Structure formats: structure tokens, C-alpha cells
Amino acid sequence: MSEAMEARDDAIETVSGAPKRGEALRRTVGEFLRLALIAAAIALPIRYFVAQPFVVDGASMEPNFHNGQYLVIDELSYFLREPARGEVIVFRFPGNSKVHYIKRVIGLPGETVEIRDGAVFVLNQDHPGGFRLAEPYLPADIRMIGNFRFTLRDHEYVVLGDNRLESSDSRSWGVLDRKFVTGRAIFRAWPPGAFGPIANAS
């Protein structure tokens, strides 16, 4: 008789333990979901308002950026200041806002930019007579053909690809309006051999 009662007691303990295990599982799942929500709350604003990935497509920025390279784009800085000369930016192509381009800032609002004799010349308030733009990020033997002149309004920029012979840029489709700018390239995440921050000339 006592053995039967002990068996029943064991059964009761086993059954009563089941809800405790279920409760522990629910707590674990709940904690996981809570952490996931917190992580998403932190990551999504960063992804959409601070930084986003960008994959280089094409050869227009060679030799400094190559097809397939994975970059991180800083979207926050240009809420606080304007793009600077020499910075590499990503923007929505004015002719098709679904397409993103990567180019280098050459001319700033209020300036006049001339491209002639294979070089870039800038006229502004500080240099009304103009100056030849030094571009240390380009190979010494870089060639550029054609003559162009841009007079920029307050919200307009001249952007060029580093690969001057193989780039669709301001020479092809005109000046870039500030409203199309997404951000500046700040970090190269892929390939591993090129991993690191991006130096922007100014």
C-alpha cells in the first residue's frame, strides 16, 4: 500500500514539474524576443539614418574603388554640414532616383568649375582668378578630355569619377543637386585586403 502511494506521489511531482519547465521556456523565449526588439530598435535607426552599406558597381572610381567592393556610407554627417571638396559621396542619380552612383565632389555651391587642358580649375570668392585643383588621389598619368564649364548655384555640386575616361558624371548629365546626396563613403568593409577607413582628400 505504501509503495502504491509513493508511486502516486512520484507521478504527482512529475506532472506538477511540467508547468514549471513550460514556464521557464516561455520566459526564455520572451527574453529572447525582448532582446531582439531592443537590438532592432538600436540597429534600424543606424541602418536607415546613420550608416548604410553600398556595393561599388562598375569601374568609374578606379583605381581607388573597384567593382564589388563593399562600403559603409555615413548618412549623418551631411545633416550637420555640407559635402566638402574631395569627399567621395553616394547619391541618387538625378535621371533615375532608384539608381545610386558613387563619385567625388569637385565643385562646391557658388563656384565656377572649368575643365580644360586635361585639368580642373576652380573660381570662387577666395580665388576669383581661379586655381588649378590638385588631385592627389588620381594617378599622375590620368588623362581627361573635353572642355566644360559649370556655374553652380547654392545647392549644386560638380561630381566626377576618379576614372575620368570611364565615368558617367557631371560632364555627362550636369550638376548634382544637394537633395540627391545620400552620404559619404567612410569605410571599406570588403574585400579583406582593402578593409579599413576611407581617406577623403580635401
- Given a contact cutoff of 8 angstroms between Cβ atoms, the answer to whether 91 and 101 are in contact is yes
Give first-to-last CA distance, the chain, whole Å.
93
Cβ neighbours around 56 below 10 Å, total: 21
Mark whether 20 is an active-site residue: no
Active-site residue among 2, 60, 77, 172?
60
User: Which helix (H) or strand (E) element contains residue 96?
Assistant: strand 96-107
The single-letter code of the amino acid at 8 is R
Active-site residue among 2, 97, 103, 170?
103
Nearest by Cα to 105 from 164, 160, 51: 160
Residues annotated catalytic, as ranges: 60, 103
